[in-house]
Amino acid sequence: MPDESLTREQIERFIVDKIDTVPQLEALLLLWRGRPRPRSIFELARELYLSPDRAAGVLEGLLHMGLIVPEGAQSYALNLVPKGREKMLTALEELYRHELLHVSHLIHDKAPRAVRDFARAFRFKKEEDK
């Protein structure tokens, strides 16, 4: 089961906040398992059974969330900052391995990122007004 030092809720919150699609999760975990070696868009596309264009879109989402960093032309590596990211990725991989359907449902059942970002903007505004 997941790393005992992280709660299930923390892992699930990471999924809801940072992962928009199952291909993003799969790409993140491929980079995690292959660390510290960067991977090209073409390698990830092949391993994820996606076109290079689709893989580039998946990686763009991970880049936007700060989960990966560019490493040269069309290659990416994990961003292991902030401290604790390694522990989270270990726990995430374990949860996904044991509860694939649950993790997939967490990803599919949330509102689209644009809707969540819009709502978050109002939440920040309201907190600033206090």
What pLDDT, in 10s, does the model give residues 37-75?
999 999 999 999 999 999 999 999 999 999 999 998 889
> pLDDT value at position 5?
83
8-129 to CATH, choices 1.10.287.110, 1.10.10.10, 3.40.640.10, 3.40.630.30: 1.10.10.10
pLDDT of the residue at 113: 58
The identity of residue 47, as a single letter, is: E
Give every CB contact of residue 12 below 8 A, 6+ residues apart in sequence.
106
CA quadruple 52, 98, 67, 81: dihedral sign: negative
Give the residues of the chain that fall short of pLDDT 70: 1-4, 111-130
Report field, pTM of the whole predicted structure over 0.85: no
What is the model's pLDDT at position 110?
75
